[in-house]
Structure 1
């Protein structure tokens, strides 16, 4: 059982984090059953992306919105998750797949150091939703947590509750050796996506054992813009979120 409601002060002081617990009539709410970590795309910030988490209004779920550690150069505004800033030679735009060694190291500490050790959450009570480059780093984080679990307690050898990656597959720059990770994955993209191509989906399925792909009827890998596009995301949440509604107080979970 989670033991503490996460607060911004629980996270490393060099990070920008927003925390939105579920609404509660009690002045001293108990910890929610789930944590949803939001990871924004290139050029966004925690403040900008946290509005999406509030709009989700998920039951029994605290939303933690992380800000990428590095500001974009050239007064472009916003932040990025990559090891460096790289440009796509084909389009001239910023390349999402810029390596995530630094970001995954930071996020592993957030998950294991803050949410697991300080707040008492188990990995199976933590979900990740990332957009664009945030989706890539979320997938890289899930794999890294799986690799690091060998040195963790037996309770934390389990996978995360799930990762939703909107507009991004597992990165080419990520490691792909070893057994498949058992974290359930949902990849969302536009029709005929260049980024989430058939080859990119195959790469993602080579790293993770359970991968679903949902494609919009339209082109473009943006955030869901209507009920039909959002439905697969909400269905994934419905399957993966934990709930204690209807469970008698004092009950103990076995297994």
Structure 2
């Protein structure tokens, strides 16, 4: 039998917010929320509270590395790479520390200590957090799969493997119609690695990010409805966006 994790289940140096379902009852799913580069877990914890997925507990995880010039910003890589074309930070990085963190969260705690199956664990990440989510799913053994991965504007890292057979975890990659990290090359790479892929481009939108309205959220809701283990089903308006 699986149980909902408690803060004491995780090592004391980890920063994780646990968001319980709105309704009392059995919990059948765990959704792990991974923020973007330069952000923290707090905004994603607020996003998790806006989700009304049935029988699902959300975990908003803070990345392990603090930005050197922003004490309130964190990133998932062991290094920082500056993009000369934009003058900003490149999402591509060495994810060694993040892999260790997520192994402790997923393998040691959720699976090992709390009794969850990986099929009941979902990941949703923004930008660099989406890259990490896809990377984790690509590295599972051939017989294993997560319930699903949703990446918001996060491509598959260049260092991700190309497993044969393809990785079983169904994935959805969402991005803007214009000025998006989800390019044709990214789409081809994701389809090369994963067996079940959905690509969503938000029409009329410039720049990736979190869904801004119900129309942009609808594909994710359908994806989750197909994969979540639930006796009740996903209600209308399962994602509340202002």
The CA distance in 1 between the partners of 2:229 and 2:211, in whole Å, is 24
Bigger Rg over Cα: 1
The CA distance in 2 between the partners of 1:57 and 1:86, in whole Å, is 37
Q: CA deviation at 1:245?
A: 4.4
> Which of 48, 54, 58 matches 1:59?
54
2:161 corresponds in structure 1 to 175
Indicate conservation of the 8 Å contact 2:180/2:208, yes or no: no
> Which of 116, 122, 147 matches 2:117?
122
1:136 aligns with 2:123: no
The number of residue pairs the alignment matches comes to 232
TM-score (norm 1): 0.86
Moved more, 215-224 or 182-191: 215-224
Q: Which runs of 5+ in 2 are unaligned?
A: 234-242
2:11 corresponds in structure 1 to 12
The CA distance in 1 between the partners of 2:180 and 2:138, in whole Å, is 23
1:108-137 superposed Cα distances (whole Å, 9 cap, x missing partner): 221111111111111110100000000000
> Which of 183, 199, 211 matches 2:185?
199
User: Equivalent residue of 1:183, what SS?
Assistant: coil
> Which of 209, 215, 234 matches 1:222?
209
1:202-221 superposed Cα distances (whole Å, 9 cap, x missing partner): 11111111110001011211
Q: CA deviation at 1:236?
A: 0.9
Indicate conservation of the 8 Å contact 1:104/1:140, yes or no: no
2:240 corresponds in structure 1 to none
Indicate conservation of the 8 Å contact 1:43/1:76, yes or no: no
Indicate conservation of the 8 Å contact 2:138/2:163, yes or no: no
Q: Higher strand proportion, which one? A: 2
1:76-121 superposed Cα distances (whole Å, 9 cap, x missing partner): 6310001211111110101111121221222022111111111111
Give the 4+ runs in structure 1 shifted more than 6 A: none
The CA distance in 2 between the partners of 1:227 and 1:23, in whole Å, is 20
The CA distance in 2 between the partners of 1:214 and 1:158, in whole Å, is 25
The CA distance in 1 between the partners of 2:70 and 2:185, in whole Å, is 35
> Which of 219, 224, 229 matches 1:232?
219
Q: Which runs of 5+ in 1 are unaligned?
A: 150-156, 247-255
The CA distance in 2 between the partners of 1:165 and 1:122, in whole Å, is 21
RMSD: 1.7
Indicate conservation of the 8 Å contact 1:187/1:214, yes or no: yes
The CA distance in 1 between the partners of 2:46 and 2:210, in whole Å, is 13
2:69 corresponds in structure 1 to 74
1:102 corresponds in structure 2 to 97
User: Equivalent residue of 2:17, what SS?
Assistant: strand
User: Equivalent residue of 1:65, what SS?
Assistant: strand
1:162 aligns with 2:157: no
> Which of 183, 186, 190 matches 2:172?
186
TM-score (norm 2): 0.90
